[in-house]
Amino acid sequence: LTEACLAQIDTAGALNAFVHGTADLARQQAARADERLQGADETPAMCGIPLGIKDLFCTKGVASQAGSAILNGFQPEYESTVTQNLFDAGSVMLGKLNMDEFAMGSSNETSTYGNAVNPWRRGNDDAALTPGGSSGGSASAVAADLCLGATGTDTGGSIRQPAAFTGITGIKPTYGRCSRWGIVAFASSLDQAGPMTKDVRDAAIMLEAMCGHDPKDSTSADLAVPNFEAMLTGDIKGKVIGIPREYRMDGMPDEIEKLWADGTAMMKDAGATVRDISLPHTKYALPTYYVIAPAEASSNLARYDGVRYGHRATLAQGDGITEMYEKTRAEGFGPEVQRRVMVGTYVLSAGFYDAYYNRARKVRTLIKRDFENVFADGIDAILTPATPSAAFGLGEMADADPVAMYLNDVFTVTVNLAGLPGISVPAGLDRQGLPLGLQLIGRPWEEGDLLNCAYALE
């Protein structure tokens, strides 16, 4: 499997999905997996499975740059808990995958490596499309069969949106399910790792290997990890699926409406009850997210100072420490990251803290309560479109106002603000033959049930 993936990666340079290859390491890990499988009574499901790892994960002795020039040359001395868990399960790392810089973006175009490309095309049109972001390299690599699965991270949709754009499955688990230790932090109260795979069964198997309690992350939940795969019965009789009316946006394309209606019909056919529900604070989710995420990012990114990691600017005679910080950060951070640092610093500044950051935190609580209320009312899972459109052309949005790009996250950010699990599953093609995804949102810690509902949609 590892050799087949390495050969496939060699033919797919144009996708720019893998940005640091680790073929030698992969072959060593694959040989160890072979040994482990010889004579074993049971075959551990992830043993010998070749994966791609998002560049946001610190991997010991292997370049880990979070898609940023400021981390040029950085090779961590330690392994992230998630990748260590996968390696302990016998998985093989083929290399590191492209992503938006510090996971900020929805198109992979803020990456210092240049964007990854979506293997899908619109009809006969050759124009290259975005694989989505920020886990765009992960999505592109899985969709193009360069690996059997990939790690992603999701702060506001970065697993689910690229999964939808490339016709694959991606789940963001409940906040606290996967350890964040060793994952370069973007917005610590929102960040979660998750698997990106061909289908729901693979997602269940890979998630089980990735997650679990980790004393090195104080927000990691001390809960047993269920056998998610065993929960995939496809039986959803008696489940109650909520359809939130606030997600029916003005100007939603017909195709997305139809996708949603078809998904609703499939859930009913499978024996679920479908109910209209209301999540009244949905309209505040994007502005809330785009205050909280930059605020946390501005604080997390303060550590890139030219001293501790990666890049340091060349200094002129007479430059002091302030010039070193300024020049290093001006050279090392791309425009989107600089924008987020400035917005975050502004909303946290003494004069504006209450008006923006504190206000956003209060609204976040209301958004979370909306979900708690419908779950208390008997809803088991919530069905929505994953994205407002299919994959867009590279350059199409990046050249527009940044807010146009932010609008892509309209269906996904609520889930991070509320800390809930959310999954995107491929659910059909648009008129131009591009994949579209549906999202299911579940109760906290009930990823097994959520995966099973998604399995019924597959």
Interface positions with ligand GLN (CB under 6 A)? 103-106, 134, 154-158, 186, 293, 409
Which one-letter DSSP state was computed for residue 311?
A: -
CB nearer ligand GLN, residue 102 or residue 120: 102
Q: Which of 302, 445, 451 is nearest to 375 (CA)?
A: 445
CB nearer ligand GLN, residue 16 or residue 412: 412
SS3 101: helix
Decide: 211 and 225 in contact? Cβ < 8 Å: yes
Q: Which residues pair with 183 in a beta bridge?
A: 57
How far, in Å, CA of 165 to CA of 130, rounded? 8
Q: How far is the CB of 417 from ligand GLN (least distance, A)?
A: 12
Backbone φ, ψ for residue 44 (5° rounding): -60, 130
Q: For 22-91, list the strands marked E by DSSP.
A: 50-54
Q: How far is the CB of 130 from ligand GLN (least distance, A)?
A: 12
How far, in Å, CA of 129 to CA of 10, rounded? 21
CB nearer ligand GLN, residue 106 or residue 384: 106
How far, in Å, CA of 374 to CA of 381, rounded? 9
SS3 19: strand
Count Cβ atoms below 10 Å from residue 434 Cβ, excluding itself.
23
CB nearer ligand GLN, residue 189 or residue 273: 189
CB nearer ligand GLN, residue 242 or residue 294: 294
Q: Which of 36, 61, 456, 19 is nearest to 264 (CA)?
A: 456
Q: Which of 203, 103, 123, 119 is nearest to 166 (CA)?
A: 119
Q: How far is the CB of 2 from ligand GLN (least distance, A)?
A: 29
Helix extents (H) in 130-253: 136-143, 160-166, 200-210
CB nearer ligand GLN, residue 157 or residue 242: 157
Q: Show which residues are catalytic.
A: 54, 134, 158
Phi-psi domain of 30 (left: phi exceeds 0; alpha: psi -120 through 50; beta: other): alpha
Q: How far is the CB of 91 from ligand GLN (least distance, A)?
A: 23
Half-sphere exposure of residue 33: CA atoms within 13 angstroms, side-chain side:
24
Q: How far is the CB of 357 from ligand GLN (least distance, A)?
A: 16
Closest residue to ligand GLN, based on beta-carbon distance: 158
Q: How far is the CB of 326 from ligand GLN (least distance, A)?
A: 25
Q: How far is the CB of 289 from ligand GLN (least distance, A)?
A: 7
Decide: 101 and 336 in contact? Cβ < 8 Å: yes
CB nearer ligand GLN, residue 111 or residue 134: 134
